[in-house]
Chain A
Amino acid sequence: MTVTILVALLAQPAKAQTFDYNKAFEDYQYNLTLYRQSFSDYENAKNAYLQGGQTLPLKEAARQKTLAMLKTRNQLLVVYLTALRQKIVEDRGLVFDEKNTLFGKIDQEVAWYLSDKSNYRDSDSLENLFTKNEAVKDRFKKNTSLVVSEVLIYIGVGEQAGLRIDHENIYSTLKSIIDAGVASGKLSLTPFNHWLSDIDATDQLLKDKESAAKAEIQKIYSQSYSPKGNYESSLEILSSSLLPLSQLNEFLTEVLNYIKNQ
């Protein structure tokens, strides 16, 4: 008994598996496979019904496959949105408020699909399932696709902002080295003063582009006729940031090499 008590006292609590983006993405891939399988089953059953004389047993088989596919589809969307959410959680370039706003939007979608999934009944008729499908289709078009577009752009902005911040940290270190070198007379302020202003300008350009991409994607909520256009415009802005981001890297490398060779 004493031994049992001691073992119980000293036993380490079991560690829960970490749920990170990689795990979330794996879950999404798995559910995508399940959905593809159930969609294939649904199509086979549908074709069998349509080409097999439209008998009642074939209709029942098609109904069951349709029901299974619709449930799997909702689950796929839940898991997909969760993967997006986890990607944002681990993003280094987005600020707390931006993340929370996106979480609110994603969570609303997840809640909707979970609730909708629980509304499916085994007794639902095929016609009933078609009606329920229309509700999902509508939700996806009017809400989910917009939220996903916004989130994808923010993920891109976050990645670029994270890299920009990393460069800014190096820039800060290099400026300290230059200041110390100039103060001790080992380095001359020229040409650094010109180079630093170029670096500052590039850094500012990157910040402006991040803001522009974020502002552009917000328009999808007010321009219902062409949300895809706003998404494409935001992507273009993000793509145009790649060159200045590379330039920033090159500029800092040049400054670093110059200091090294002094």
Chain B
Amino acid sequence: MNNDPQPLVTENKPSVEKGTGLLGKLKNLFAIFWTKVPLPIKAGITKFTSNKKIFLPVTISLGAIFLVIILGLIFGGGSAKPAPKKSPTPTPVVQKTPEASESGDVISINERKLNALKNQIKTLDVNQSRLQLPPIDFEISF
């Protein structure tokens, strides 16, 4: 019995030819890369690609998944918004409370708005009590 592992595929050194154009250069690069791949891996890859019943469905499925991911990243939107540039003096931005879409006719809508405004007027604090200067004692000496 021969103990030496026999390669399933004989190593065919691809002849590195001077290709022309981009395709030729890529072929050359691949050929150089292929010569450096270890023999057992080469054997596995060749076995996998030669079995068309497994190779084709697996390749097509992976390709489809990859395509979906790429399309999702390109057209998915939202996550990759450019960060706004910081300005030395921040521009004041009025954050409006988003209004819920109101149901009913214009009169009813405005009636509700007027009632809400009436309540806001009642609760107006002209003195801004919450924001008055904090009590600070500046007489610090002894």
Contacts and interface: CB of A to CB of B under 8 A. Distances in A.
Q: Do A and B bind each other?
A: yes
Interface of A: 6, 9-10, 12-13, 20, 25, 28, 32, 35, 39, 42, 46, 49-50, 62, 66, 69-70, 73, 76-77, 80, 83-84, 87-92, 96, 99-100, 103-104, 107, 129-130, 133, 136-137, 140, 145, 148, 152, 155-156, 159-160, 163, 166-167, 170, 173-174, 177, 235, 238-239, 242, 245-246, 249, 252-253, 256, 259-260
A136 B138 contact: yes
Contacts of A152: 128, 131-132
Contacts of B140: 42, 66, 69-70, 129-130, 133
Interface in B81-125: 89-90, 92-96, 106-107, 110-111, 113-114, 117-118, 120-121, 124
A161 to B, nearest CB: 12
Contacts of A6: 69
B114 A163 contact: no
Nearest to B80: A13
Contacts of A13: 79
A156 B92 contact: no
A242 B131 contact: no
The winner among B94, B111, B114, B133 for most chain A CB atoms within 10 A is B114
A155 B131 contact: yes
User: Do most interface residues of chain B lie in helix, strand or loop, or is the interface mixed?
Assistant: loop
A230 B94 CA distance: 29
28 contacts: A9-B73, A32-B134, A35-B134, A62-B142, A69-B140, A80-B134, A83-B131, A88-B92, A89-B94, A91-B94, A92-B96, A137-B138, A140-B138, A152-B131, A155-B128, A155-B131, A156-B126, A163-B117, A170-B110, A170-B117, A173-B110, A245-B124, A249-B114, A249-B118, A253-B114, A256-B111, A260-B107, A260-B111
